[in-house]
Structure 1
């Protein structure tokens, strides 16, 4: 067997040389004038996804505010998530003219600024719901807040007592007179 392997290794190796020089595939294609699309940078079909948002009158609150108003079932699922993480749900409300950032309802600079997000305070509805274990309890309190303050924005926030921070927040009620919600497709230019 060793002799057979030695004969294979000592046999001359034939080298095949190509007669034609190597060409790239681009060289084989017929020459065409470049179109505008070939000269410009584009993400193709993703271009529509990267729209510029209208900088004025484009009002948002917290998380989920780009969605249509949430149903009770959707709110209950969010409350379940809060409770399962050990967070404390709390309801807050604000008059329509004080809900958004504006020159007359926030102080941005100086020693009087609170340092709390954008320096807007919403009034707490009752106390935070410590020990809440059922989303139904929160939905009942949302209904009570809507009865007491029908012309106010009402949001549900969650506090983490370990980190002592607000960890979630979203609107659960807009006033009947509010016409600020617009679909994301209507917010871009």
Structure 2
């Protein structure tokens, strides 16, 4: 199951040139660009591990360089490029693009919990949680 988070998640994986174009768009809008990675991309987990420092005025080529450096060390994990917009009233992530995925994506499952009476509660469980942190992907 392919994880569908952020922009372009229903399209084929982005090439380095595609990443460069998206980074240039973010930089052109005055957004700070950052590279992040994780081995558990739960939909509610918005905080991933940051790779390096946020790039404020770097050219788009620096973003692709940082993505490739992150791939060398964390190539078997999810890697994304995010852009942070600091315009008044919108101090938040303005763009999020997954640029690297593990070879196998186990996905998520629904867990049913029955309570007192007829109450039923459903929660989402990541299949990666079956393995300890650091051993979930290659």
Does 1:84 pair with 2:84?
A: no
- 2:54 — aligned with what? 128
Please list every run of at least 4 consecutive aligned residues from structure 1 whose deviation after the TM superposition is greater than 4 angstroms.
none
Q: Structure 1 pair 142/119, CA: closer, same or farther in 2 (3 Å)?
A: closer
Shift of 1:177: 3.5
- 1:100 — aligned with what? 42
Separation in structure 2 between the aligned mates of residue 92 and residue 64 of structure 1, nearest angstrom: 17
Q: How many residues end up aligned between the 2 structures? A: 105
- 1:173 — aligned with what? 100
- The two structures have a TM-score, normalised by structure 2, of 0.69
- 2:8 — aligned with what? 64
Shift of 1:99: 0.9
- 1:53 — aligned with what? none
Higher-Rg member (1/2): 1
3-state SS of 2:56 partner: coil
Provide structure 2 residue ranges, at least 5 long, that are not aligned to the other structure: 108-138
Contact 2:37–2:79 (8 Å) recurs in 1: yes
Separation in structure 2 between the aligned mates of residue 58 and residue 177 of structure 1, nearest angstrom: 9
Which deviations, in whole Å up to 9, do the C-alpha atoms of 1:139-169 show, x marking residues without a partner? 0000000001111100000001223211000
Separation in structure 2 between the aligned mates of residue 78 and residue 126 of structure 1, nearest angstrom: 19
Contact 2:27–2:57 (8 Å) recurs in 1: no
Provide structure 1 residue ranges, at least 5 long, that are not aligned to the other structure: 1-56, 102-117, 181-189
Separation in structure 2 between the aligned mates of residue 179 and residue 59 of structure 1, nearest angstrom: 9
- 2:120 — aligned with what? none
Separation in structure 2 between the aligned mates of residue 86 and residue 58 of structure 1, nearest angstrom: 31
3-state SS of 2:53 partner: coil
Contact 2:6–2:97 (8 Å) recurs in 1: yes
- 1:145 — aligned with what? 70
